Amino acid sequence: MSALLAGLDCTGETWSVALVRGSECLAECGGLNARAHLRWLFPALVDCASRSGVRLADLESVAVTSGPGSFTGLRLGIVTARTMAQVLGCPVRPVDTLEALAWNVPESPRVVAALDARRGEVFAACFQTGTGGCLRLTEDRAFTPEELAGALESWGGGVLVGSGAVRYSPVLEKVPGVRILPPVFAQIRASAVALAGQRQAPLNPLDLVPTYLRSAEVQLHGVRP
């Protein structure tokens, strides 16, 4: 039987957990309420296990979005995944948040995943998606909406997905060849995190580090490190 993986994401306004075996999602659960992430994340996973008749003790690994994203949500997901792995004696598989988001657009030569990073910025990267998964075309970085519009122009447009794309659509949709997907596609699915995780090398839970893309000192100095 294929390996059982858990997927976790709470790096944005939404949270999602899933159990995946091979290419199938056994159970998935989520919600839209950033204040309820802590309350529901782990209990929902327990619920997924009981509804799909599997034991969390049988997990082969835990896949989790490792950033970029909301700092607090990012840490919550990572600590939960690390602790699960510590108890179960299994590895973790970090998945880039923007890659997990790009999975929402199944077959496209150019998917631009863009998260609202607050402070007038978006975290974005460009991918090519196909049946085999997701191929990265650019590295994650922070853009102002205007900078991203410029980059989109040089890439020749693409399908835009994510909270950053939705928020800054007035600026971004002016770029020729750009299509912006509606908010429902901006919600990251934990099943995609687990499926993307299958392709990531397993890590010792203590070696998992978050991708913040921003210094902790932004809190003191305002925009940009």
> In the set 75, 144, 181, 211, which binds other proteins (CB under 8 A)?
75
- Least distance in angstroms from the C-beta of 189 to other proteins: 21
If one asks whether residue 40 binds other proteins (CB under 8 A), the answer comes out as yes
If one asks whether residue 223 binds other proteins (CB under 8 A), the answer comes out as no
Residues 99-158 that bind other proteins (CB under 8 A): none
Residues 80-99 that bind other proteins (CB under 8 A): 80, 82-84, 86-88
If one asks whether residue 50 binds other proteins (CB under 8 A), the answer comes out as no
Give the DSSP per-residue string, 136-191. E-S--EEE-HHHHHHHHHHHT-EEEESHHHHHTHHHHTTSTTEEE--GGGGSPPHH
Q: How far is CA 165 from the centre of its chain?
A: 15
> In the set 5, 17, 26, 56, which binds other proteins (CB under 8 A)?
56
149 vs 218, beta carbon nearer other proteins: 218
Strand arrangement of the beta sheet that strand 92-95 belongs to: 24-32, 14-21, 4-9, 61-65, 92-95
- In this structure, are residues 85 and 56 in contact, taking their beta carbons and an 8 Å threshold? no
- In this structure, are residues 175 and 145 in contact, taking their beta carbons and an 8 Å threshold? no
> How far is it, in rounded angstroms, from Cα 115 to Cα 13?
11
- Least distance in angstroms from the C-beta of 25 to other proteins: 21
Binding residues for other proteins (CB under 8 A) = 38-43, 46, 56-57, 71-72, 75-76, 78-80, 82-84, 86-88, 205-206, 210, 212, 216-220
